[in-house]
Structure 1
Amino acid sequence: MSILRALREGSADVRLTAAQRGVCVLALSVLAACSTRMDMAPVVDRTGAPIPTDAAQAAAAANVPPPPGYYRVKPGDTLYRIALENGQNYHDIAAWNNLTNPNQIEVGQLVRVAPPGANLAAATPGVATAPIGGGAVQSQPLGGAQQPGVTAGATPGAAAQPPYYGPSSGMGAAPGAAASVPGVDNSAAAATQPAFIWPARGPIIGTFDEAKNKGLNIGGAAGDAVNASADGRVVYSGNGLRGYGNLIIIKHDATFLTAYAHNRALMVKEGDAVTKGQKIAEMGNSDSDRVMLHFEVRRQGKPVDPLKYLPPQ
């Protein structure tokens, strides 16, 4: 009977010297290490290919583009940010996805960001929906219809008439608004976006930059009034979005929303209907290194240059 076999079977007849015991301990250690490495080896199928783990499957899924009307969750995402980036109310997104706890979303998860039954191509950010032809700009009530779209490549605010003209702006009709466009039904092509006003008075200390600054920074003193830029409904009021501080988001229609960040105090709550010029907050420096209002205009969830939508100061 060998020494190792005797040790394994617990034989009492084996008498070992100190040197032999040392050799046995070393041999058993090597066997244990080999066994451990075998236990950690990946399971393979009959073709010899490794079976992917859950992490590998999630990573592979993250590289698949989401279908129209859906968003794939990325690291660091919150439902609030997903809603802002897609121009929706986070309560609606939670309902469309049967999320009982809005804080429980996972990286790689597909989230519906367009209403069930909606035109997904029109409701997906990045699809051009700029107005075609002339026509006076009019305010649109909350929840109104989507405005007509045109081919890709149109630039928001690049129409012949600045977007702040219209009956509700107090500036009269846009120059040339009555002119017809050959081959276009101007009555159907009229723009239907809000007539925005400046949300605060103060110097411009930061302009729009699609890569670095998604809005306009307006300077001022702590406590200065922050006003609603157009009629709408508050879809967010709180401080749950990192980098925005005390934030208010107002949805004006099916296309446009505005965001007001870094406030000292919030005067409205979610669900409130607000009117253009109504005081909704006080300027502050929450989550900012100085007192200012960070103001964003978003069209179909995509940030656009507010200066193209605001009247001259």
Structure 2
Amino acid sequence: MKLTKPQTRVIYLATMVLGLSACSSPLKYAPRDHGATTSSAQAKPSQAQDCQGSYRVRSGDTLSEIAVKCDISMSRLAKYNQLLPPYIIYVNQELLIPSVQALQTSPELVDDNEDPANDITGQSRVQPEPLQPKNQAPIKQAKQLSPPKEDSAKAIERQDTPQERVKMEKSGKWVWPMHKGLDYRYIRDRAGLSVLEIYGLPGQDVKAVTSGKVVYAGNGIANFGWMLVIKHTDEYMSIYAHNSALLVREGDIVKSGQVVATMGATGNTKRPKLYLEARYQGRKVDIKKILKP
């Protein structure tokens, strides 16, 4: 049957109306499984849950990365857990994460790296012995290593692999890290724990107090200049700061008495010196009880 022109126009208009009504109708979807719903806002809680009260350190973590992840300043996180530069942490170590209330009410903490002149137990000075010509070795011009890109050391495995395990001296005694004719003094912090400072000339040899593995080598820690941290097999660590150059790298195995750096005046110091600190399980201990001339 042939349609007239008016009939054709009516059919066309009806088709347009139906099409527009279909476009304006709300879209319907099959109901989704509520448990499978994810979003960027819901993805963060799993990360935030890691920081609920405490955080367990994973391989490759640094304290600065953990601080960012847990939305807290690294200095606050370090002080809350009694960690000192270069903020050595261990895999599976549990770090306490302060709550907002704790941050608001916690008293101001004092930096242990204060001016030694204000807090000294007593100083033991020895007049330098006159050096014979045979002992006056020329100062070595050591090549400095490139500084690290981070400001805190990566998490350390508590147990070394058999290939990396090093043998401590049978006596366990630490050896003096520099020539014994140099001036030195033990300096106590407010907690009553002493560190050792030895004074000399730039370029003089700095030796490892005992065998171990270098776990930090760089100048990324404020105030300490070029610094080394050596981990020993009995969970002790020795820290050497203000060096002019480092002669070993992270991961190197060193022997007792091995030259590992040269004395300098880098970082926050007005004179060439070696700053030597002892730690046990990451915490500062009194070096005067471990190392004596």
Given the two structures, how large is their TM-score scaled by the length of structure 2? 0.47
Given the two structures, how large is their TM-score scaled by the length of structure 1? 0.44
